Structure 1
Amino acid sequence: MDNMEYFETIKCFDTEVYNLSFHEKRVTNTIGLNLNLQEYIYPPSSRLYRCKLIYNESEVLDVQYFEYTKKKINSFKIVFDDKIEYSKKYLDRSNLDTLSLKKEDKDEIIIIKNGLVSDTSIANIAIFDGTNWLTPKIPLLKGTTRARLLKEGEIIEKDIDLNMLKFSRKIALMNAMIGFDILEDYSFFS
């Protein structure tokens, strides 16, 4: 056993818990145990909450609720890091936090790993090529919204290089809280 701690960010609104089966699948893929997360999640009211469920290799350790307000993201700093690793949703995000410091005065970073677009620090990414929504074949983290949209055929996995990103018609960010958020007005900075 590895003593690592992990977490899931789960959207709760009007006492409904969203996409729980995808979160449970990721927990199973992370620790090899099937946990019924519904047993642990009891939103405190009908407001929009970000539920943070913390667990380790054998049990759920804590469940926290935070009222959620969407962060406005319009500017991206392109950062290069071939060594960053975040294939599981580790509670320790220090490597991502350190990388995020490079965003300077921009709203968010887009991480380029081994010459390809991978993710932002808080969400998976997709680009629109004029016909299809494409998401990186090798993201830093296989997000639950990304998994759902792949299963539904709404997005397609593809290697995305920096030129494809810069010349895309639109981009979208996706995570448990924002769903598939299409950005119309955005800019990239190197």
Structure 2
Amino acid sequence: MLCLETICIENRELKNLSYHEARLNKTRRELWGYEDEWDLNALLKVPDHVTESMHKCRVVYSKGIDKIQWEPYSPRAIRKIRRVYDDEIDYRYKYDNRDALNTLFAQRGDADEILIIKNGLVTDSNYCNVAFFDGTRWLTPASPLLPGTRRAHLLDEGIIQTAEIRESDIAKFSRIRLFNAMVDWAHAATLDVSLIA
């Protein structure tokens, strides 16, 4: 079993590193029983071929680091979202194996993204955590499939708050926003909830 961290690099600087490090070390503790802490700042050196433009660093690991990849990043356009349903899916750790998520993503039809409903509750999209705007606050599902690093940072900053969001609650909101480690809050896709099919 392999897990991974996908870290944003902008202007050759690794972003939000303390949050990635916290999740990685929590995963190592809970899955494999390790008590030592990895220092990502010491382990990751941005190679010369990475330019000032946005890149992503994929750290694939289990007991040790399996591989580190450095790739240019291009954001995807999201114009429509389709609800998909899976009451059994488990992605509480950022597993390298995304077969279950890929199966759900294949159900998107003419949409660009999916919104995964588990046991009647809204969780995440394929690659992003989500938040809904109620007119005054941005609320993110209290039970995401994967608690993302950007989500943790936004919660700490008080920009979003957690709430149990049922599928039946979606119509009560005006907008949905999709964000992850590579997509910051200011540039995240924001759609009217009417675009969730």
Cα contact 1:11–1:177 (8 A) shared by 2: yes
What does residue 33 of structure 2 align with? none
Give the counterpart of 2:159 among 137, 154, 166.
154
Alignment of 1:9-158 (within 5 A): 9-32=6-29, 33-38=36-41, 39-43=43-47, 44-56=50-62, 58-158=63-163
Q: Which runs of 5 or more structure 2 residues have no equivalent in the other structure?
A: 30-35
What TM-score, normalized by structure 1, do the two folds share? 0.93
Report sequence identity in percent.
38
CA offset at residue 185 of structure 1? Answer: 4.9
CA offset at residue 40 of structure 1? Answer: 2.0
Aligned equivalents of 2:152, 2:91: Cα separation in 1: 16
* Deviant stretches of 4+, over 6 Å: none
Deviations 1:53-95 (A, max 9, x none): 1111x21121111111110001011011110110000000001
What TM-score, normalized by structure 2, do the two folds share? 0.90
Cα contact 1:132–1:155 (8 A) shared by 2: yes
Give the counterpart of 2:182 among 167, 174, 177.
177
Cα contact 1:87–1:142 (8 A) shared by 2: yes
Q: What amino acid sits opposite 2:89 in the alignment?
A: I
Higher helix share: 2
Cα contact 1:15–1:45 (8 A) shared by 2: yes
Q: Which runs of 5 or more structure 1 residues have no equivalent in the other structure?
A: none
Corresponding pairs, count: 185
Structural RMSD (CA): 1.3
